[in-house]
Structure 1
Amino acid sequence: MFKKIGPGVLVAAAFIGPGTVTACTLAGAEFGYALLWAMGLSIIATIILQEMAARLGVVTQSGLADVIKSEVVSPYVRNLIIGIVLGAIVIGNAAYEGGNIGGGTLGLEALFGPAYLMYYPYVIGIFAFLLLYIGNYRSLERIFIGLVLVMSLSFLLTAVIVKPDVEKILKGLFLPSIPEDGILMVIALVGTTVVPYNLFLHAALVSEKWKSETYLSTARRDTVVSIVLGGTVSMAIMVAAAAIPDKDISNVMDLAKGLEPLYGNAARYFMGVGLFAAGITSAITAPLAAAYVAQSCFGWQGGMKDKKFRSVWMIILILGVFFMSLGIKPIRIIKFAQIANGIVLPVIAIFLLWAVNRPSVMRRHQNTRIQNVFGVLIVILALLLGAKSILRVFGVF
């Protein structure tokens, strides 16, 4: 699968999951075009960070955790950093997994109704467990990605059909403003686009595909094109959702209203299939990413069949199902996952920025001054947003 498509496409497919569909629909329905700038900023931040991760992978032929282990001399500092990275990825992915299973649950609810809602998380959890345990999920993943692409094209067409106000779109895109109660939604949009574990996955995937520094321009082009296309779909979802008459979105039927201009009464089924596909695909990817990070941190050599490797993805999967079994609405779980991602992001971004500035790691492919300026600005912005969300939760702001 990795030989046929670039890693950038997989990164883009990873962030167009149930969290993106839900967060972008909520943002469009609640705030119209006002937060398009936040999505645009998220796309730029994603391109900058993922380019660094891709360059690191091509030049070093290893992952971010491996670089940290080899470059930090003090064993105490090294263990502390590895512990922070491991904790951030595992905790972040556990929350993200709850959102993935929540997205799949919403899909099943749209297809089969709410009568068996309490059983849907277990169905998705068992399905994901079997695919991960057996390991023969690649052909199914192609089908799921195809279904997600159908949903993405649906939103792009819907965004055109609803005849949006172009002037208001441009205003929302280029004149930043945060409406009242909009800060958590901004963090959710950032968290659903700039996914921390994608930085680890991207570095690993490019080192599998491209074995020489001569492919750096190819890797960079693959990253930019894929993420811009993914971001365009995210913006189309926000534009389509802005046309939803009923702004109070509490269930999947309300989410499906964003597709009604294109599909009419069948919109719920298209939304259901898309959310189920996005949820299952991401429910497989997130636990695997956490397991790969743990494998890199601890130096395990057994591969996917190793008991320790399997134990990590099992824990992530079980935690995801547990979060969904608490009776919390799937949309709330998904929104929380995006906020958690936004808080984890600055931690991982700081380590990535440090790694790509090491001459011993990157040789002549270190960050330029302008790349460092943008990188530092992204970290500062992520820190401010993360702090603001924490203060908001405790009622300070």
Structure 2
Amino acid sequence: MITNESLGNVHNTVSTENKTGWRKLLSFLGPAYLVSVGYMDPGNWATDLAAGSQFGYKLIWVLLLSNMIALLLQNLCVRLGIVRGLDLAQASKHSYPRFVNFCLYILAQISIIACDLAEVIGMAIGLNLLFGLPLIWGVSITMLDTLLLLFLMNKGMRKLEGFIISLIFIVGLAFLLEMFIVKPVALEVAKGFIPTELNQRSLYLAIGIIGATVMPHNLYLHSSLVQTRKIDRSDEGIKNAIRYNFWDTTIALNLAFFVNAAILILAASAFFGRGYHEVAEIQDAHKLLTNIFGKLAPALFAIALIAAGQSSTVTGTLAGQIIMEGHLNLRIAPWLRRLLTRIFAIVPAFFTILHAGEEGLGKLLILSQVVLSLQLGFAIIPLIHFTSDKKRMGKFAINVPLRILAWLFAVVIVGLNVRLVIEEISSWAAENPGSADIVNYVATPIAGAIGLLLLYVFIRPLLFKHAGQPSYVPHGLAASLDNLEAVHYNHIAVTIDFSKNDEDCIRHALMQGGKKATYTLIHVVETAGARYYGKQVMDNETQSDVNNLDKYVDALTKLHYKAEARIGYGGPATAIAEIVNTEGIDFIVMGSHGHKALKDLIFGTTVNTVRHKVNVPVLVVKPGARK
């Protein structure tokens, strides 16, 4: 049995059992909406605006094709997550060597940074258009969404889903109102759903639309989010879960298709029909809307852009957590991971604004979509392999017709994206002759190495049939329980902070060691003097703490317990760990401060830090915990 859980803090937290009818369906609705925001982020806006302004309604069918591909691939993710209880990154970890998984992680992380870059730019542009805020300040403000994500994650999965759905509603409502303002011609819109021949320019945009729509991080994300639902693990229960999630996915992605189609129709009606055929910049679209329709339409446009950017950035963070834990078994605090990802996205945005101005942001936005296209094959190919594996998926493996359709879509997507990358590299070399050496000796070899890795990812599952057990799992496999004799601790440490927690901590320590153990009461002085001068300090607070600690020791001694006092100085976690390691202590009892969310950022998490600095058991006593 695999012991790790994708998004462990919200795994199986939404109950679907003992519900029927529409209540049962509602309990499954949510994961696909978090995924759908990736299909309407600022990167999609750029390609949709360019397509609508240059070709009118003619490329709506490409949007529809992209949506059909997305529906198939996201439903494969649903099947993988529900049946095997693994997200895509975890399944890759069990099927590919560690080095390959490391490479897959790097590529996936680059794609998330590229996606986050699009959100940073979109958010900054939206704030600039709505409030006139300079772009450089708009980019800086996007750092604050780290705190927003931390707050939402602590509120639970349902609250997070509610927040995202609210933002999607704002985007959809804004564009619905836009449609009433621009008044598109219904017959011309309908003709746009009929496939037409693509010339070189329209093919380039079609590739961009598909690349911007089917995003790799969404595949990782969806395979994990479906596991937040607690389901009946019988064959019938799994079948029902797949069916309900199918409807969740279909509804959510069709809403995303509506938003993308609305952007394209808006551009076609407002710009193409009036002779503005080269509107590729979001700022240009906003200015033209102002000139043509007054203030309401551009205001709605900017509001929708901000909502789309903010919702996408939250789901990008979740995808980052899934990819890091799945491929590398590396877990860090969500706020720290969010901060690092956002910093990597903000740096290029900052430099672009400073050196190339607003025009450079548009080019950077398109570049982010090119980077995304590189990663797409590394998510799609393993996904099809995993969901086709009858040995691991059993009766829920996809059938032959669906498998053929999936591989056909994969060939189309990878082929078009490879062509896009080749054309981009060629154009870079042609436009900048001075950088030809960089293109020939850096960009081209990197692209070639990535191509070979993609080939390996495709061939490996065909050549090697793996056993049911993974080659390695995050926490190891369960050991046999053949020796369960009671453990006796001889030297127990109790952390003291002179609060109401002290009595509970001492009580629990005595329960562990009784009269035979020695008890070391530890208190850490955290004054500025203590941090700088350590044991040499003897200020008023230090002297008071020493006296108070001695009172505890005297009380325990009168009750015939062996007790002693130890004072630490400076950082609590480091000081506690140092005393424990030097005194030969074999058990620690600590009080939990009960901080949540923002207070953890301010006051720190001493308990977790101590746990990683010592090699003995730690008992954490919550405030008010009594036997």
Answer whether TM exceeds 0.5 for this pair.
yes
Structure 1 segment 373-388 matched on structure 2, within 5 A: 373-388=404-419
Match runs of 1:165-180 below 5 Å? 165-180=185-200
Match of 1:131 among 128, 143, 148: 148
CA deviation string 1:146-177 (max 9, x = no partner) = 24423323323433554434444344322233
From 109, 118, 137, the equivalent of 2:136 is: 118
Structure 1 position 142, deviation (Å)? 4.3
Equivalent position of 1:267 in the other structure: 297
1:294 aligns with 2:311: no
Corresponding residue for 1:219?
Answer: 245
- The structure-2 alpha-carbon separation of the partners of 1:343 and 1:37, relative to structure 1 and needing over 3 Å to count, comes to farther
* Counterpart-to-counterpart distance in 2, 1:149 and 1:367: 33
Q: Deviation of residue 312 (structure 1)?
A: 3.9
How has the CA–CA distance of structure 1 residues 170 and 269 changed in structure 2, closer, same or farther, with 3 Å as cutoff? closer
CA distance in 1, matches of 2:164, 2:361: 20
TM-superposed CA distance for 1:17, in Å, is 2.0
* CA–CA separation in structure 2 for the residues paired with 1:211 and 1:259: 48
Q: Contact between 2:211 and 2:417, CA under 8 Å: does it hold in 1? A: no
Alpha-carbon shift at residue 202 of structure 1 (Å):
0.7
Distance apart, 1:259 and its partner CA: 6.2
2:79 aligned residue: 55
1:158-205 CA distance string (max 9 Å, x none): 335544344443443222332442333222211222111111111111
After superposition, what is the alpha-carbon deviation per residue over 1:109-131, rounded to whole angstroms, capped at 9, x for unaligned?
Answer: 112226x222221111x212333
How high is the TM-score relative to the length of structure 1?
Answer: 0.87
Greater displacement, 31-40 / 322-331 = 322-331
**1:243 aligned to which of 247, 269, 276:** 269
The unaligned stretches of length 5 or more in structure 2 are 1-9, 15-26, 233-237, 431-627
Report the CA distance between 1:343 and its aligned residue.
2.7
Query: How many corresponding residue pairs?
Result: 385
Q: After alignment, is 132-141 or 273-282 more displaced? A: 132-141
Seq. identity, %? 24
The verdict on how the C-alpha distance between 1:258 and 1:52 changes in structure 2, with shifts beyond 3 A counting, is: farther
The question of 1:35 aligning with 2:59 is answered yes
For 2:177 and 2:291, the matched residues in 1 are separated by 9
SS at match of 1:174: coil
Residue range with higher mean Cα deviation, 56-65 or 20-29: 20-29
Q: Is the 8 A contact 2:175 2:301 kept in 1?
A: no
8 Å Cα contact 1:19/1:192 also seen in 2: yes
Which is further off, 345-354 or 314-323?
A: 314-323
Q: In structure 1, which of residues 104, 108, 112 is the aligned counterpart of residue 127 of structure 2? A: 108
- Residue 250 of structure 1: how far off its partner (Å): 5.8
Among 341, 346, 352, which residue is 1:316 paired with?
A: 341
- 8 Å contact 1:184–1:339 — kept in the other structure? no
Deviations 1:370-396 (A, max 9, x none): 111111111111121112112211337
Deviation string for 1:182-238 (max 9, x for gaps)? Answer: 333222211222111111111111111152403211111211222122212211221
Whichever structure has more strand as a proportion of its residues is 2
Cα gap change, 1:194 to 1:128, in 2 (>3 Å): same
Shift in Å at residue 319 of structure 1? 1.1
The structural deviation recorded for 1:311 is: 4.8
Q: CA separation in 2, counterparts of 1:161 and 1:123? A: 31
Q: Please say if 1:189 is aligned against 2:219.
A: no
Aligned residues of 1:16 and 1:278 also touching (Cα < 8 A): yes
Tell whether the 8 Å contact from 1:49 to 1:199 is kept in structure 2 after alignment: yes
In structure 1, C-alpha distance between the alignment counterparts of 2:397 and 2:52, rounded to whole Å: 39
CA–CA distance in structure 2, aligned partners of residues 331 and 141 of structure 1: 30
Q: Please say if 1:394 is aligned against 2:451.
A: no
Pairs within 5 Å for 1:74-153: 77-113=96-132, 116-124=134-142, 126-133=143-150, 135=153, 142-143=162-163, 145-153=165-173
Q: Give unmatched runs, 5+ long, in structure 1.
A: none
Q: 2:43–2:118: 8 Å Cα contact kept in structure 1?
A: yes
Counterpart of 1:219, as a letter, is N
